[in-house]
Chain A
């Protein structure tokens, strides 16, 4: 059963079944890793709040992450995005820690589930749309009408813009989910090769596995970064209407 590369994505109940109004909200391994990731973030960043002029290592880590994300937001979405800093910070850290905890063997990758990434992306999409309408009123619809387009092409362009806008949550969620799932499946497949090819032929897939692990750690960081930066870009569209 463990040889199945998709087995690692199974969600199973931990502890008793919890039901509210016939809806199953039991604690699962996915919930466990969400809790672990959140706790890890809170512990690390709480240790990084020590007041000292010369920071220690954890404080330096926390402060560097803070300035990294703050710079990312101000670069992509401008100074108007300052109030959304803590949301994007939490989002980036949550996705990053879930991805990174998924890299531990026999652990569970929360972000490899489309439902999780889709809920995050849908929340961002809805939130950005609401912010856009609050800031610009109906003028936010100008987002779909780029300037400098000939009148003949305008209907087509508007349709394309609307479709691309509506597909944002799907592309955002599927990008993260597919990356995580594909990477972990590949690692599992190569791991299976190592076992089935044994001592004679197992060395090649083992090498691949090692290389893939490095690649996957990179992807784990990169996808969290991409997720956060795309959120910033969407936020930028809503805050500074350029079209």
Chain B
């Protein structure tokens, strides 16, 4: 019901407004040439002045501003690039210094180690030589001792055997014949020892 009333009202008002407007409208004012000359005159005047002022005073300033900004930004970028390059160079230098010092330290360490090793080696060699000498000496001594001990042993043997014989028989025996017998025996013994 309410819808119907609203629609009727809408339709009626549409009709009324249309009739009212069509009664009032007297065509397009745009086609009335009364003020055409005046409009052209003022258009040329205002647009001409606008064009002159804009092109002579305002637009050059704006383009100038834009250009200076552009150039300034480019300049800043350039200096930034330069500074970056410089820092990169510095960083490289720094790295190089660090590397150099590392290498130096390594070298130093290596050379010192070599020195120490050489030293140790030398000492060891000399020590070995000493030891060898000592050994040779000792061997010589031993050899000598061996020789002397044999003589001493034969001497002792001769003496003890002469003593024994003296006590057993009660008379002295020629020492030279005794020594010959002992030597012969000891030789046989030695041959037995050395031979086997």
Contacts and interface: CB of A to CB of B under 8 A. Distances in A.
B63 interface: yes
A113 B30 CA distance: 5
A34 B46 contact: yes
A10 B54 contact: no
B44 A27 contact: no
Interface stretch (A61-69, A150-158, A235-243): A61-69
A58 B9 CA distance: 50
A109 to B, nearest CB: 11
Contact of B62 (A9, A63, A120): A63
B42 A63 contact: no
B37 to A, nearest CB: 5
A144 interface: no
Contacts, number: 156
B42 A31 contact: yes
A225 interface: no
Contacts of A85: 59
Interface string B82-126: 000000000000000000000000000000000000000000000
B105 to A, nearest CB: 51
Nearest to A1: B24
Nearest to A9: B29
Interface stretch (A131-139, A195-203, A211-219, A226-234): A195-203
Contact of A42 (B9, B34, B35, B58): B58
Interface stretch (B12-20, B152-160, B166-174): B12-20
| Binding site secondary structure of chain A | helix
A45 interface: yes
Interface residues on B, range: 35 or more
Contact of A28 (B42, B53, B66, B72): B42
Contact of B9 (A90, A94, A201): A201
A112 interface: yes
Contacts of A189: 21
Interface residues of A, number: 61
A62 B41 CA distance: 28
A208 interface: no
A34 B42 contact: yes
Given A93-B54, A115-B40, 11 more contacts: A3-B21, A9-B30, A37-B46, A42-B53, A48-B62, A86-B54, A86-B55, A110-B43, A112-B30, A115-B39, A189-B21
Interface stretch (A18-26, A73-81, A159-167): A18-26
Interface string A182-211: 000000010011001110110000000000
B30 A181 contact: yes
A45 B62 contact: yes
B152 to A, nearest CB: 118
A49 interface: yes
Contact of A119 (B24, B44, B55, B72): B44
B38 A31 contact: yes
B62 A25 contact: no
A143 interface: no
Give the 10 A-B CB pairs with smallest separation, nearest first. A86-B55, A31-B42, A49-B61, A34-B46, A90-B51, A38-B50, A25-B41, A11-B35, A4-B24, A9-B29
A49 B62 contact: yes
Given A41-B50, A85-B59, A4 B35 contact: no
B30 A177 contact: yes
Given A63-B66, A201-B6, A28 B38 contact: yes
Contact of B21 (A5, A34, A63, A66): A5
B10 interface: yes
A197 B9 contact: yes
A42 B54 contact: yes
A51 B65 contact: yes
